[in-house]
Each structure stands twice: as structure tokens, then as C-alpha cells.
Structure 1
């Protein structure tokens, strides 16, 4: 394993020092502002994981404390603080600023391409939508249930946007310069700083929703790319789901949190071996399905079974027909904490965001480790960073996924009976410290950063996508061997 970088050229060093200075300065201000809430409070008894009064009203949600002096600046963490950070961060990025939520204001957070290049916004719109391909080598494309809005009766395609914090963007530029100059080796122990943030958001044409339900979705005007690949059509779109992925103190692996609208799809019921709904949902037609056909994609074609997408595990918590799987953590603490905080937030939210719920998050155990030890642990775990077996380091929702974004990659197994603790999939299955080229570093956990580096090295989008596909294919094939 290579040692951490010890020297940088003058330009890069100045850039990184400036970033550190700004980050530290901001952190100190945050400590002063949030001094009285340096730790999240737990109400009544230790079993309750609830929201904080300071988060409401939503128009005034403060950013969560993340750096020195935050709930993560301790040698021993609790499960609950990760769920509290996830909800508070979601509320912060969606809080209204003028006519738009904060994440669309292009100030603290900007929209970028899947290679981390800033997106040029189109006149009269707040987001640009060009991407419809889901993660995974199957190149899955998600279409909604046409009967959800029977008056239009059209299977609209789901689109995606990506957004990053300026802190992460500036750090990426510094890392790129250091890698290009050779001062930072391709194998390294660097990590993105606290405050680094990625969002991935799922959208669909608002006409996919019936008129009496559209008001339950956050909607905005998007510029959707036309088939010519050059022009756009301004379209009202509805927000379906969001990944909130951020770095906090002592967790350079990012916390990977995910949120969904509550009318997307049912959870698979493992006790009766089926997913079912007595009403039309946006991704699931009324009725039921058994097995994996609803979340299995046929390459370059369509799902095995259309309009039957479902969440494989509620809150990403793996179960069997007889109860919770034996994993790297005890349940039902994690499940109960998510259920409790969802109910707590729902009681306090009054705006459109009350129709969205938290579907879990994942991180790794870094308790008691120094920053260097954390980076070394991430690199040493490699492709096994998301392993859920007893004794492993992954924590939280161990099969974390979003039905609007990882619809067809919730499992690599062909049969539902083959799913077990050894082959669970989660965010870390693909987002691990191994780059598309095989180098190792905590910074490669971000695929958009990896693509950013590869594009700066002259790789085309097609070449980068092929490298991604090969990585995903190898991972899927390996997981299928774990019965």
C-alpha cells in the first residue's frame, strides 16, 4: 500500500491549503452556531430515534453539524445519528430559497454531468435532463406504470440529474491537478473533505401523475433533451427520488442515504413471497408479482415484467421468510430507528416534502480510527467494503437501494431464493475504492470523480462507460457465485 501524499507542487499545495482554510473557517463558524446542539438528542429513552425541533419549519432547516464538534467527532457512534444526519441533510437541500429548493439554486450546490462537468442551465428551467440510463451493465431504463394516470396512459421514461457541493467540486479540481502532475500517485490515501456532497435525483414528466395527485409531488420546469441530442423541450417534471451522499467527520467513505416518494412502489413481502398493491402506483400496476421479474432488466430491451417494480427490502434492511438476516449488525435497531425518525419527521413537515420518506443509508464502522487508519481501512476492504456478513464493517441499510434509480440492480441473483447475506447488494457494491482503471483510493468511491479524471486523461464518454460496465459486470458475476 502506498503512503499518503507528502509533497505537492506549489500551485496544487496553495489550492489545497486555501480549500482547507475555507473549510476550517466555515467549520469554526458552524461550531459557534450549533454549539448548543453539538449532539443529536434522543427523546424519552435510548430506543427512540427522532427528528429535532430545530429542523422545523422546513423553510428554516439548518445544515447538519458535520465536522469538528459534531455528533460524528467521537470515538464511538450510535446508529441513530446517521439517520438523523440523513433526514436533516435532505431537509436542508430541499428547503425553499425563493422559488426553488436549495439544491437547484446553483449557488452552494451545482448541477453536473456524470463526468463532473458543470451543466449549462437552459432559459426558463431549473434543471437539465439528458440521462435515462440506470447504473449497471444492463443499461436499464425505467418507465412508469401508464395506468397510474389512465387519462394519459403513457409509460413515460424516468430521467436523472446529478448535483455536487462547491466544496466537493473544488476539491476534485485540486485532486485532478495533483494526479495530472504526478505529485499524487494513482494509488493513494486521499479523501474528500467534510462537506463534500453528491445528489442524484430521479424525475419524470409530471403528466405521468394523475391531476389529483400531482400536487403531492415536488414539481419544477426541466429542459429535457430531444432525440436529436442537441435541442431541449421545457417540461414540467415531478421529483420521484433522491440520493443524498455526503462526507462527515471520521467518515471519508461518505454516508449514502436515499429517499423516495411514498407512492412509487410496494415493498416485497418475504413472508408471503410477493409484492402487491391494491391501488395503482407510479411504478407498480395494481395486483401482485412473485420473484424477481419486476426488477430484472433484459439488456437493451425492457424489464422481464413491466410496471411491477418494487423495493426488495423495506428500508434496505435484509430479511428472510423467517425474519431478519444475521448480518454485520444487530437488528431490529436499525430498522426501528428508520421507522421512528420517518414518523417523527412526517408529523412535523407541512409542505410537499411530507410525501417523501427516508429509505435508509449505509456507511462503515470507523469508530476509534485516525484519519489515516480510516483511509487505510477503506482501501484494504476494496471491493468487499459493502460486505454484510457477520464481522464485516458495513453498517446501516445493508441492501440500500432506491427503487427509482437502482430498480434493476437491487440484486444480482437470478432467483429470489438465492439471495442471502453473502450476496447482498448496496451502494458500496459498485462504489468502492477501486477505480475503473484498477487503482485504489477513497476518492474513487465517487464514480463521477473517477469519470472526471478519466475524461481529463483523454478518455471518451464511450470508453469510460465501457470501463464502468466491465467493473459492474465483474461484480455482478462474482455475487452470483455466492449462493
Structure 2
């Protein structure tokens, strides 16, 4: 009697299934950190990363190294705080330091309140999704005087931010003589920033001087004073900057490897002791195309408090900035905090796109990011257990998979419905990427860095041309300089 093949068939299938579960998928190489990055991080090389079908790890690893290098402690402070600011590079042509642009004063880090920033051409913007953040509310916030998009933490303190650039970026500006408004306006449309240029945007919260948290990068900084003016809240330009202890919440690390003049846009955020991001919760599901809410259903995002989220806040009530009138009426000028009924008033933020991808599965973070962050956790534990950089993790990054198409006048985006892994995609990485501390209110309409940073003509809210279409427009440093020039 012949043996039935069915038993052997099912045994074989069972073994294959078990092996498939236990072993990495075919052709997958785990994304791991370079042991040489810690304790002292070497200077990044900005080598050309290969495009798809190579895994995204080749972009996430240089993002991590650039973060480690820029945030590396130097004389007790992160190295990037010694980098040039817009005021340093462009000099006397820049408006006073109490403008929204960060600059140095009194040898301290000068910070300005974080306000909404729209795209290069806000007159053409349309909402990515309907719902809590409609195009009207976003554009109204950009248009209003004062700081309509002010972000406020759980203690009622406004979040502050700063902009720095590395020496390569600064040297480029000076070598091309782009230090006057006219020079930037008349720059060659095809002029590109060079390999190795780095731009850094940082978000900070004020912390008590007598109770400085140990699990943050903290520094002494000079911050502007806000004041009420009727129903507006504005910077008091007559008041001197005040010294505060501030803690780093998040850092944009924007860099140009060889062959990518559009920048690789990466963002890092603070994490708790377990390595979990703790600025804001993530939605339990992708936002619905119908109303922008998680899975189309309203309700509390999380029960517990986060740095930028009040536990129990409904999704429909979160990711909303306060109106000028509410900010002005609730601002306590004596204590420099926002109060409501004697208690701290805050803006509640949550991550709309849980995996920082707006199309496709979207719920899960990229495996390379997960692997690399875990690898960094181990590397910190082994080589730098007390390094303050251990308290931050990569959220995601975005870049052009076809940088040869980078040209003046383009809106950098994929066709509707196309994933970033599609062979035809122009944009790769996390196309739903937002920093909870820096793009808190724009997650619906400006879903990633390229939603605002492109090479289109730069216009003001009245439709007046600020800069003609050019490749340099991908960095808002130039448009900020032109707008704020005397």
C-alpha cells in the first residue's frame, strides 16, 4: 500500500510557515546602526544613496548620523547651537532679532514662537483631507497677524523654535554672494545648494530652572516676551530677551547627500525611557478621506497626558490652534503662560498618520526605521549610556527617488493614491511625515515637508511674488530672509 503524500505535504508546509515567521523575509537585510557612531560621532560623508529597489535604510542611516553629529554635546550643549543662524549669515540685512526668525543675542540661543508656515504659494493650496483642519482654518491662521499657530504645552507654556545651518550652507551663501535681498531675488533659477549642506530646525519647551529634566537635551536660552495688544498676541519688541532653561522636543535634520539637491528631510522626536515617542499620541487608524478623523470616528485619542496632548481630548478638538482672541484673553503676562479658569491652557496634538505614510497600509512604521531605532537603543546602552542624544528617535524621512527631475517651478509630490514604494513614485519615504512640535496644525493640508518646500514661485498671502521659481526655494531660509529684509 502506497503512503499518502498528504502527510508529508502538510508537514513541509508547516515547516516553511514556521521558518517564514521566525526568519527575516527573503532578500531583507536588517537596518543596523554603525558602531563607530558612538560615543563620538564622525563627520558625515554625504555619499550618494542608491534609489529603489534598494531599501530605504540607505537614507535613514545618514539621517541618524547627521542627527548624532549635529546634536553631539560640545561644552555641554548640542553642537548645532554653535552653527550659523540666518542673522549670522545674512548680517545687517535681516530684520530685528525679535522677528519670527531665530538669531543669536547675548551669546545665547535666541528663539521665537513657533507659528504656522504655509507652502511657497498659499494662494493655490487645497486641503489634503477635510475635517478638523479645513483649508479655511489653516489659511486663516497663516493670514492673521500675531502668532495664530502658537503651540502650547501641558504647562501652558508656548513652544519656541530656532533655525541653524552648517558651515557648508553658510559658505555657499557667502561664496555666491547671496547676502542681499536683490542677490537672492536675481539668483539663477537652476542654482542648487551643494552636497553637505545641512539645515536644522529645532523645537523647545521652557522648563523650571530648579527642576530641569535629566532625560532631555537642555540649554540656557534667550526667548522673546509676548504681550497682549487688543485681541492680538505679539512679541514685545521693546522688552529685552529673557533667559530661560529650555528642553529640546524635536529636531528637523535636513541634509544634501550627493545627487539630492532637494534635501533629504528627516525628523527626530523625544522618547520616554522605553524608547516610545512621548510628545503626542498616534491615531489608532488612518484618517478617513471623508472627515479626516481616525477611521472616520471621533473620540479621545488617548486617556493619558502627553507633552503636547491633554489626555481624553477628542480627535475633533485636537490639532487645532487657538484663535488670536482666545490666546490674547488667556495669556497671563506676569507668569508668561496661558491660563483658563486658573489652570494651564494647552493645544492638544496627535499624529494623524500613525506610520507617517498617507497612502497604502500606512499604519505601520517602516521596518527599516523600527530596526534602526532599536539598533540605536542597543548602541547607546553599550557605548554611550548617559549621552543625552539617547532620548530621541527617528520618526521618518522623505526625499525624491528621482532627483534628476528636480527643477524650478515644480510641486514635489506623487500622483494621488500612489505609494512611496511604487516604482513610478517621485517622492520616497514617509509621505505623511509631520513633526508633532513643528507641523502640529498642518497635518491635513501640508502632509509632508515637500508640501511646503518646493521650487515653485514664492508668493505672499495677497498673491504678490516674493521670489520667482527657483531650486533655492526648497529652503525657506532664502524666502524668510527676503521677506524679513529691511
Give the TM-score normalised by the residue count of structure 1: 0.67
Alignment partner for residue 265 of structure 1, among 271, 280, 284?
Answer: 280
Q: CA deviation at 1:385?
A: 3.7
Alignment partner for residue 374 of structure 2, among 315, 323, 343?
Answer: 343
Q: CA deviation at 1:315?
A: 4.4
Unmatched 5+ stretches in structure 1: 1-41, 147-154, 326-330, 368-373, 413-423, 461-483
Unmatched 5+ stretches in structure 2: 1-23, 95-101, 119-138, 142-147, 227-235, 272-277, 287-294, 328-344, 419-423, 459-464
Match of residue 379 from structure 1: 407
Q: Is the 8 A contact 1:116 1:449 kept in 2?
A: no
**Which of these two proteins has the greater Rg computed from alpha carbons?**
2
RMSD after superposition: 3.4
Alignment partner for residue 301 of structure 2, among 263, 276, 279?
Answer: 276
Is residue 289 of structure 2 the alignment partner of residue 312 of structure 1? no
Alignment partner for residue 454 of structure 2, among 411, 422, 432?
Answer: 432
- SS of match in other structure, 2:350: coil
Alignment partner for residue 54 of structure 1, among 25, 36, 40?
Answer: 36
2-structure distance, mates of 1:425, 1:307: 19
Q: Which has the higher helix share?
A: 1
Match of residue 448 from structure 1: 477
Q: Is the 8 A contact 2:190 2:471 kept in 1?
A: yes
1-structure distance, mates of 2:255, 2:50: 15
In structure 2, do the counterparts of structure 1 residues 252 and 223 end up closer, same or farther at CA, with 3 Å as the change threshold?
same
Match of residue 431 from structure 2: 398
Alignment partner for residue 324 of structure 1, among 353, 361, 366?
Answer: 361
- SS of match in other structure, 1:444: helix
In structure 2, do the counterparts of structure 1 residues 72 and 276 end up closer, same or farther at CA, with 3 Å as the change threshold?
same
Q: Is the 8 A contact 2:282 2:350 kept in 1?
A: yes
Is residue 144 of structure 2 the alignment partner of residue 144 of structure 1? no
Q: Is the 8 A contact 1:386 1:429 kept in 2?
A: no
Q: CA deviation at 1:130?
A: 2.7
Q: Is the 8 A contact 2:168 2:196 kept in 1?
A: yes
- SS of match in other structure, 1:379: coil
Q: CA deviation at 1:181?
A: 8.1
Q: Is the 8 A contact 1:385 1:428 kept in 2?
A: yes
- SS of match in other structure, 2:199: strand
Task: Map Cα deviations across residues 290-337 of structure 1 (whole Å, 9 max, x no partner).
Answer: 34x31133553569x954211112342226xxx616xxxxx97x7111
- After superposition, residues 204-283 of structure 1 pair within 5 angstroms as 204-207=205-208, 211=211, 214-227=213-226, 228-229=236-237, 230-262=239-271, 263-270=278-285, 273=297, 276-283=301-308
Q: CA deviation at 1:180?
A: 7.5
- SS of match in other structure, 1:253: coil
Q: Is the 8 A contact 2:413 2:450 kept in 1?
A: yes
- After superposition, residues 39-78 of structure 1 pair within 5 angstroms as 46-57=28-39, 60-66=40-46, 70-72=47-49, 77-78=54-55
Match of residue 97 from structure 1: 74
- SS of match in other structure, 2:84: strand
Alignment partner for residue 58 of structure 2, among 69, 81, 86?
Answer: 81
Q: Is the 8 A contact 1:385 1:432 kept in 2?
A: no
Q: CA deviation at 1:177?
A: 4.6
Does 262-271 or 191-200 show the bigger shift? 262-271
- SS of match in other structure, 2:281: coil
2-structure distance, mates of 1:363, 1:278: 35
- Bigger relative contact order, structure 1 or 2, given CA contacts below 8 A and separation 6+? 2
Match of residue 195 from structure 1: 196
2-structure distance, mates of 1:452, 1:177: 10
1-structure distance, mates of 2:183, 2:108: 38
Q: CA deviation at 1:53?
A: 0.9
1-structure distance, mates of 2:63, 2:346: 31
